[in-house]
Structure 1
Amino acid sequence: MNYPKAIAHKGPVGYGATLPQIFSVEGLGDCLVKFAQSDHGPKALANELIGFQVADVLGLEHPECGVVEIEAEVLPDDGKLEVTSPSGDRFTFLPGLAFYSRWLPSAQHPTPDDLNTLELANPRMLAGVVVLDLLLGNWDRTAANPNLLLERRGQRRLVVIDLGLAFGGGLWELGNLRDTSFPPLYDPLPYGEDLDRLLRTVNPATDFSSYLGKMSELSRPRLESIVGTIPLEWGISSREREALVDYVCTKARNLPAYLEQRLQKQEWWR
């Protein structure tokens, strides 16, 4: 398969556990790039690739993303890229296939006031993000870093980013994928920090229905096609690929009934 190629390294993003970098990519401009050699490993890249294709099925907006080819010639340290984490850990990023998403320089994290007061092109999308997180077992959102962006050019719109910790994180094993349960109905959704002010902006009577209506589109053949886009180079075995399909397929089948019960609570996220 032919993938777009990086043509220049622009520098580090400056934040993010996977130590993402900015590259200029042919035909795409500046892109955020994540490497398989970060401490989250190649499964985090597979999580992103699967997660954003599931987001497409739901109709959620996100930066253009996919697989990018990184050749040795664009890496500044003799054909590799030496990086150091804020804690002092050193990593060597190597040529090969990585994950990219288009860089959105004008986007910022939304605040509850943004969601309440601005005219948004996609005001119901936060409900879709909750549906996505329930499908993927992705709880990497906090009030300080909701892994959402507000694109402020033109009509303001929410975009979802960073699904690397889906399926419980980048170091999942087959056993993790056998657990297709949802959070207990009377427990809070297990986000990392209090998201009440953001989640209060969701109207449960109207905002979830269009996303739940998409569950039937997450058929086994569709999911097999999505999982089939994971490059062999990332080392995801055939058993793991089958388990990923089973995981999302099972959750998509069971999610509407679960969420119907959860939404009977006034504060459905708690």
Structure 2
Amino acid sequence: MNINDSPIRTVNVTRYVTPLREGGSLPAIAEADDDFLYVLKFRGAGQGPKALIAELIGGLVARALGLKLPEIVFACLDSAFGRTEADEEIQDLLKASVGLNLALHYLEGSITFDPAVYTINGALASQIVWLDCLLTNVDRTARNTNMLMWGRELWLIDHGASLYFHHTWHNWKEHAARPFVQVKDHVLLPQADQIESADIAGRAILTEERIRHIVAQVPDEWLLADTLEAGDANARREVYIQFLLLRVASSAIFVKEAQHARETLI
């Protein structure tokens, strides 16, 4: 597989349009110097740069599997940006997010995926369930699907809750080989009747070369943002690589868990 994907673009944020008050992360719609609108994820919010790392790796893995998601860009926030913002909470967030952030192209006119309205075919549902089991993404439930319908197609958003092992770094090898028990709450699990096929395809795509290419795109400054943790950027990057490699190699464990969880639903 050709891994020479187009490089991730970098844009400069020029205008804060409106907050998207979802949970505690306070993403926002913002305009950049390319005149496009983006959903901006701030490094100074919630789980900080680790959420951006999960967002970036998760999004690039999803794209490698052929799933649809908005364009991901790096978004630079100048120190002068937001000084005139009247909302103190937002102003503090902007001040804490000076530098490199992450943004996804804003899909204007998109609507939140509603499982009561839309039916997703088994192959696509299985791909997404497999992806989320791989990434240990706990945030694709009926309550919060993190999927959009746009142009009559399903688009994935928000992988910031993935790879939760990196919030402690301890026992990451054990985490990599564990079943993903939270799959029982996955919104697409009832439709995911081809998980074994998704597993075969996913393992073929996510080679070591592909995984290294994906993780190499994580900025050093995000990897080293937490001063409470020792280590260098390359060492931390290698942990993500090895976690994903072991996760792929151990996929039979989470596939079995997903199949068992599905059997209890149907």
TM above 0.5, yes or no, is yes
Note if contact 1:21-1:32 (Cα within 8 Å) is conserved in structure 2: yes
CA apart distance, 1:53: 0.7
For the residues of structure 2 that align with 1:264 and 1:38, how far apart are their CA atoms?
36
For the residues of structure 2 that align with 1:175 and 1:211, how far apart are their CA atoms?
27
For the residues of structure 2 that align with 1:79 and 1:72, how far apart are their CA atoms?
13
* TM-score between both structures, scaled by the size of structure 2: 0.80
The one-letter amino acid of 2:106's match is W
Which residue number corresponds to residue 172 of structure 1? 167
Of 209-218 and 253-262, deviating more is 253-262
Match of 1:255 among 244, 251, 256: 251
Which residue number corresponds to residue 53 of structure 2? 46
CA apart distance, 1:61: 0.8
CA apart distance, 1:131: 1.0
CA apart distance, 1:209: 1.6
Which residue number corresponds to residue 61 of structure 1? 68
Match of 1:26 among 24, 33, 45: 33
Which residue number corresponds to residue 182 of structure 2? 190
Note if contact 1:20-1:33 (Cα within 8 Å) is conserved in structure 2: yes
Cα distance change of structure 1 residues 254 and 13 upon mapping to structure 2, 3 Å threshold: same
Of 7-16 and 125-134, deviating more is 7-16
Cα distance change of structure 1 residues 253 and 106 upon mapping to structure 2, 3 Å threshold: same
How many residue pairs were aligned?
249
CA apart distance, 1:260: 5.5
- 2:189 aligned with 1:199: yes
The one-letter amino acid of 1:216's match is A
CA apart distance, 1:253: 1.7
For the residues of structure 1 that align with 2:71 and 2:264, how far apart are their CA atoms?
31
The 5-angstrom pairing of residues 5-154 of structure 1 reads 5-27=12-34, 29-73=36-80, 75-77=81-83, 82-83=88-89, 91=93, 92-116=95-119, 124-151=123-150, 153=151
Stretches of structure 1 lacking an aligned partner (at least 5 in a row): none
The one-letter amino acid of 1:190's match is Q
Which residue number corresponds to residue 4 of structure 2? none
The one-letter amino acid of 2:110's match is A
Cα distance change of structure 1 residues 97 and 157 upon mapping to structure 2, 3 Å threshold: same
For the residues of structure 2 that align with 1:259 and 1:15, how far apart are their CA atoms?
31
Note if contact 2:208-2:245 (Cα within 8 Å) is conserved in structure 1: yes
Note if contact 2:54-2:159 (Cα within 8 Å) is conserved in structure 1: yes
CA apart distance, 1:21: 1.5
* TM-score between both structures, scaled by the size of structure 1: 0.79
Note if contact 1:50-1:226 (Cα within 8 Å) is conserved in structure 2: yes
CA apart distance, 1:78: 5.9
CA apart distance, 1:42: 0.6
For the residues of structure 2 that align with 1:163 and 1:32, how far apart are their CA atoms?
13
Q: Identity of counterpart residues, as a percentage? A: 25
Cα distance change of structure 1 residues 150 and 208 upon mapping to structure 2, 3 Å threshold: farther
Cα distance change of structure 1 residues 166 and 269 upon mapping to structure 2, 3 Å threshold: farther
The one-letter amino acid of 1:230's match is V
Cα distance change of structure 1 residues 215 and 177 upon mapping to structure 2, 3 Å threshold: same
- 2:237 aligned with 1:241: yes
Over the aligned positions, Cα root-mean-square deviation in angstroms equals 3.1
Which residue number corresponds to residue 158 of structure 2? 162
Cα distance change of structure 1 residues 127 and 139 upon mapping to structure 2, 3 Å threshold: same
